[in-house]
Amino acid sequence: MVQQVTPETTIQVIYPESDGQPMADNTEQFTWIVKIKENLEILFASSADVFIAGDLFWYPVQGSPNIKQAPDTLVVFGRPKGKRGSYLQWKEENIPPQVVFEILSPGNTLKEMTKKLQFYQRYGVEEYYIYDPDKNDLNGLLRSGDSFEVIEEMNGWVSPRLKISFTLTPDTLEIVSSTGQKFLTPVEIDQLREQERQRAERETQAKEAALEELEKERDRYQELLAKLKQKGIDTDNL
């Protein structure tokens, strides 16, 4: 009797791209997530090998879809820009995000944030920043060996990877790039763009007015020379 051998069935592992939860709990949290993510995109727009994402699932271990986190913002140096449904680390040359940001909301629990800290520490994050906009409180952790060390003074701190500085004013957090470019909301960026457009328009109008006045002066000069010649005056020897 010939025994029939049934081929082994390969089980496909599904890595969900969404958990059905909102990106943010309130408008303030969402504003900060967008501000940090989009300004980092602008800052590294010319760097093809810096990938930046917001609220994207990061799976560090192949075959383990339950091991995941979705940082409010993550930055990966050494990986190309592009569309991704999630960050599958084994498909990204096994490079973990080096920098992550979390923006707190009243709904965040100590248990939840502790789990995130342990996750980021275990799976290779180098810099971890946590900002609470309601309390205007910024905390940072920096990798040292296999664990995190608390950054004792965040006011004036410069990120080793991002080269951005953090300043806590009495009312808010200010983030500035190494070139002095302040992180702004999309509305503020648009307002600056409009101000620049208006300034350029005023300069153009002023140049056009100056050229027009110069043209008039030249015409008046030519008219004067013509009148002098009519009176028999040698204008070449004036």
What is the C-alpha to C-alpha distance for residues 48 and 44, in angstroms, rounded to an integer?
Answer: 8
- Which of the four pLDDT bands, split at 50, 70 and 90, describes residue 115? very high
Give the single-character DSSP code of 158: B
User: Among 40, 70, 67, 35, which Cα is nearest to 55's?
Assistant: 70
- Which of the four pLDDT bands, split at 50, 70 and 90, describes residue 3? very low
Residue entry with tokens 């992180």: 183
pLDDT of residue 238: 59
pLDDT of residue 5: 41
pLDDT tens profile 125-177:
999 999 999 999 999 999 999 999 999 999 999 999 999 999 999 999 999 99
pLDDT of residue 10: 60
pLDDT tens profile 192-216:
777 677 777 777 777 877 778 778 8
Structural Rg of the chain based on CA atoms: 30
User: Among 104, 95, 160, 106, which Cα is nearest to 116's?
Assistant: 104
pLDDT at residue 117 greater than cutoff 50: yes
Check: CB of residue 134 under 8 Å from CB of residue 173: no
User: Among 29, 27, 42, which Cα is nearest to 183's?
Assistant: 42
Residue 124: which region, alpha, beta or left (left: phi > 0; alpha: psi -120 to 50)? left
SS3 81: coil
pLDDT of residue 237: 66
> What is the arithmetic mean of pLDDT over 177-197?
86
- Which of the four pLDDT bands, split at 50, 70 and 90, describes residue 48? very high
The β-bridge partners of 138 are 131
Residue entry with tokens 């140096």: 77
Across the chain, mean pLDDT equals 89
Q: How is residue 145 written in tokens? A: 């060996």
Residue entry with tokens 């015409």: 219
Poorest-pLDDT segment among 6-10, 110-114, 201-205: 6-10
> What is the arithmetic mean of pLDDT over 111-116?
95
**Residue 51 backbone dihedrals phi, psi, to 5 degrees:** -100, 130
pLDDT at residue 223 greater than cutoff 70: yes
